[in-house]
Amino acid sequence: MSDKWWKTTVVYQIYPRSFQDTNGDGIGDLRGIIRRLDYLQELGIGAIWLSPVYKSPNDDNGYDISDYRDIMDEFGTMADMDELIREADARGIKIVMDLVVNHTSDEHPWFIESRKSKDNPYRDYYIWRDPVNGDAPNGLRSTFSGSAWEFDEETGQYYLHLFSKRQPDLNWENPNVRQEVWDLMNFWLEKGVGGFRMDVIDLVGKIPDQEITGNGPKLHEYLQDMHRETFGRYDVMTVGETWGATPEIAKLYSNPERKELSMVFQFEHILLDQQEGKDKWDLKPLPVGELKRVLSKWQTELGDQGWNSLFWNNHDLPRIVSRWGDDGGLRVESAKMFAILLHLMKGTPYIYQGEEIGMTNCPISDISEAQDIETINMYRERLGWGYSREDILASINAKGRDNARTPMQWDDTPNAGFTTGTPWLRVNPNYKSINVAANLADPDSIFHCYRKLIALRQANPIVVWGSYELVEDVPEQLFLYLRRHEGRTWAVAANIGATPVSASVPRLGRSSNVIIANYGDRDGADFAALELKPYEAFAVELG
């Protein structure tokens, strides 16, 4: 497995609606991505994970697909898509498509046919059930609030939707559905894509009658079939979005001997700031000790039987610098700290657009400013439950998905250089100071920190292959770990806190070999009397 390109590369996620608009309609497009490929090449990334660009009515911003073999009009044409694949490849960058096959749009021809009658040939492409006592078949709930069952007047049955009611779930028990999925995947593989990020793939083995959604009994059988029928014949990367994964489950997905996926996204660390047993909107402070424990567990327990993904941000998550760092006076330092901490771990790192320049959350003061369906549904539901408007908005400003989706901040011209028109979602007002142009011009910027981290990974096998050890005899807010490989040892230290921290670990000795640091005055480290400033992070070579 040492020859797999995705083990040494860094992936950059693009949310196309918000990346770069070229025609003035306020919506990012494929030509905008092509225009910015040189920027991404300068950053050093080796793959782009492209959020969905397929034909869609946009009930959930492209994650509701009506045609898997066509491009959404607002993004461009298939000719543009072919050019993007070609131009990215010329720069050594692979395009990883977002595969959304747990559900389709209710405007997909399969579902249009399915709902016509109970004996339609496409009826069994989706999950239909009779009412129970005049109500929904059971208590399954949608991720986007409310029941996961929607009644259809025409045929007198309910259909399942684990997300929006306009995103009916496919019935993977039907072999015809699975064959349709293999066919559409091969369509894109033959175009030369570099693989797939698989949206909520752990849900496709669901048994709705038993209220089993994630990790159903046939899930891995389906994935092994998928591997055999599609991407197993290509040198590509596959990453599954698996909210319910444990290290043991992750090894089932990513052990190369099992012939399933390259890796999964696990979200255990992402759930640490929500109250136990409650929803993501129910907030609590980050327990740094738990963050260290969880990330370290995933570093060590996969062993050689699986591969890890490394991320803080994506299109569904708030900006990490606002979430767990300081998006004010220490924004640059805390953004670099999170970068250094993550990128020197074992696994494939992912950068979400704007993360590399330290983009922040964009708070709203009224629900009319929100675009995201999950946010809007939650607001209405919680108002009905008696929550105060202020508390709901506080949750939205902390965790709402629109925080990640505000347009990319390219420069300090109107609309941050994203569009000459009216942006589909408002630009964060701080774009005048936080933008790509300013980052490129400053050799000490967040961008150049990410660029250096990517170069370090490519030049040093210790980053890719080294063992990992958490140093535990330090204060909670200090995250200190060691990487070892072929006689070399690196120590990585990060202060996840707004106050200075000191520690003493004499066994690590003293080092003057600084590999990277987020404060310019760091000339070494004496681990017997270690001092870190607020949000300080560095890596040194020991010995």
Q: Active-site positions? A: 199, 241
Q: Are 56 and 204 in contact (CB under 8 A)?
A: no
Which residue do the tokens 């900006």 mark?
319
Which residue do the tokens 């309910």 mark?
158
- The span from the CA of 450 to the CA of 490, in Å, is 18
Q: Are 495 and 477 in contact (CB under 8 A)?
A: yes
Environment class of residue 429 by beta-carbon count within 10 Å: exposed (0-12), middle (13-18) or buried (19+)?
Answer: exposed
- The span from the CA of 471 to the CA of 532, in Å, is 16
Spatial CB neighbours of 459, under 8 Å, sequence gap ≥ 6? none
Which residue do the tokens 């997909």 mark?
108
C-alpha distance from residue 514 to each of 7, 309, 339, 429, 539 (Å): 25, 26, 16, 36, 6
Q: Are 55 and 66 in contact (CB under 8 A)?
A: yes
Opening angle at CA 540, ends 326 and 6, nearest 5: 80
* 480-486 own/partner pairs: CB under 8 Å, 24+ apart: 480/505, 481/296, 481/299, 481/345, 482/508, 482/542, 483/344, 483/346, 485/461, 486/461, 486/462
Instruction: Measure the N-to-C terminal CA separation of the chain; round to a whole number of Å.
Output: 30
